[in-house]
Structure 1
Amino acid sequence: MKYFIIAIISYLLGNISFAYILGKIFTKKDVRDFGSGSAGATNALRTFGKKIGIMVFFGDVLKGVIAVLIGKNIGGDTGAYLAGASVIIGHNWPVLLGFKGGKGVATTIGVVFMINIKLTLICFVLGVIIIIITRTVSMGSIFGMAMAPVVAIVFIKPFDLAFFLFCLFIAGMSIYRHKDNIKRLIKGTERKI
């Protein structure tokens, strides 16, 4: 029962869309009507500017942090993993916004930061390097997330199968959410910064 409660609370927490809320408050616009149509930090940045984009990023990170704290407090490591996965799913597919949410990168950063800061820092740095080289946020996001299971194997000792499977799941979810970006990257039509 406690794991069900963790999953529901975390999923609903993920439904709090800072890109949607702040866009409506400050501009009276729905972020999903612009750019990529995503209710996330990158689209908020492109659509509404740096100030709102940064607020959205930190709000989405905070959702991940709070969910993992709740999950770990109620259900230990298993609760933390379940909460992390659920809050990301809630962000990506929020029932309150007709299942049209963000891509979950900022929320995932918050989640993984609370579970393993070393992995977070390594993947974040790798992602930023790719963004700087390619000037493409989606490329850095995809690469940073895709590296999570690899980093879990190579750099996190002792090896933890549950953590590796968690990293594999969140990486797969992130790559899936970026499928349209991947198509544009292949075509050479993805927007740069």
Structure 2
Amino acid sequence: MDLKEIFFIIFSYLIGCFSGAYYYGIIFKKVDLRKLGSGNLGALNAGRVLGQKDFLVVFLIDFLKGAMVVFIAQQLNLRDSIQMMAMISVVLGHILPLQLHFQGGKGIATFLGVITVFDITVVLILLLIYLPVFVILRQFTISGLISIGLLPLVLFFLDYSGEKVLVILLFAIIIITKHRKNILDYQNFHKKRNH
């Protein structure tokens, strides 16, 4: 790995640190979303606190920063392995922004941004997994988490390279770990309903 590649990976993390929810909330709505709703700096919390249009704006900001990192990496003709490291770096920046004391979002919008530019087929596969799961569960977030969890396995059986499968697996672990409260809430809800 040369100096240019190292700098790009650091640059990707710093781009990820630009939290759409935080800066949109502070600049345009005069609110700190860390202190409202779930306290999460992601599109869903922005939507719950501010409204549906605000959800779309924040989602788009976080999606585009992920997409931009991969697009720039491709324009610089960086190796796939460096692109994948940059992808992980920008998502980690979103989840753990340095300037916000590592209190960020949960990574889905930025993950979708990097994957869309890196390999849009993976997004289509994810959508094909998601739709039947959502039809069965009717739960937006949980269906998404199950789909992301299944994605590495599906890519493995579709003969994707070990490197790509490993990176998607790492994304799945990061995102599911960040959503562990959602998973526990879902489990508790069903336990109460069944009693």
The TM-score with structure 2 as length reference comes to 0.88
Matches of 1:181 and 1:17, distance apart in 2: 21
Return closer, same or farther for 1:134/1:170 CA change in 2, 3 Å cut-off.
same
* Aligned pairs for 1:1-193 within 5 A: 1-72=3-74, 73-127=76-130, 129-131=132-134, 133-155=136-158, 157=159, 159-188=160-189
Q: CA shift at 1:82, angstroms?
A: 0.9
Return closer, same or farther for 1:96/1:74 CA change in 2, 3 Å cut-off.
farther
- Give CA-to-partner distance per residue, 1:114-162, whole Å, 9 cap, x none: 121111122134335544553433202312221220231133x4x3111
Larger Rg: 2
Matched-pair identity in %:
34
Any stretches of 5+ residues in structure 2 without a counterpart?
Answer: 191-195
Matches of 2:165 and 2:175, distance apart in 1: 15
Any stretches of 5+ residues in structure 1 without a counterpart?
Answer: none
Matches of 2:136 and 2:186, distance apart in 1: 14
Measured on the aligned residues, the alpha-carbon RMSD in Å equals 1.8
Return closer, same or farther for 1:125/1:43 CA change in 2, 3 Å cut-off.
farther
- Give CA-to-partner distance per residue, 1:14-59, whole Å, 9 cap, x none: 0111111111223211112122211011111111101111011111
Matches of 2:12 and 2:125, distance apart in 1: 25
Stretch deviating more after TM superposition (82-91 or 69-78): 69-78
- Give CA-to-partner distance per residue, 1:53-91, whole Å, 9 cap, x none: 101111111011111122332522112101100000000
Contact 2:156 / 2:162 at 8 angstroms: preserved in 1?
no
Matches of 1:86 and 1:138, distance apart in 2: 23
Stretch deviating more after TM superposition (98-107 or 117-126): 117-126
Contact 1:44 / 1:56 at 8 angstroms: preserved in 2?
yes
The TM-score with structure 1 as length reference comes to 0.89
Count of residues in Structure 1 that have an aligned counterpart in Structure 2: 187
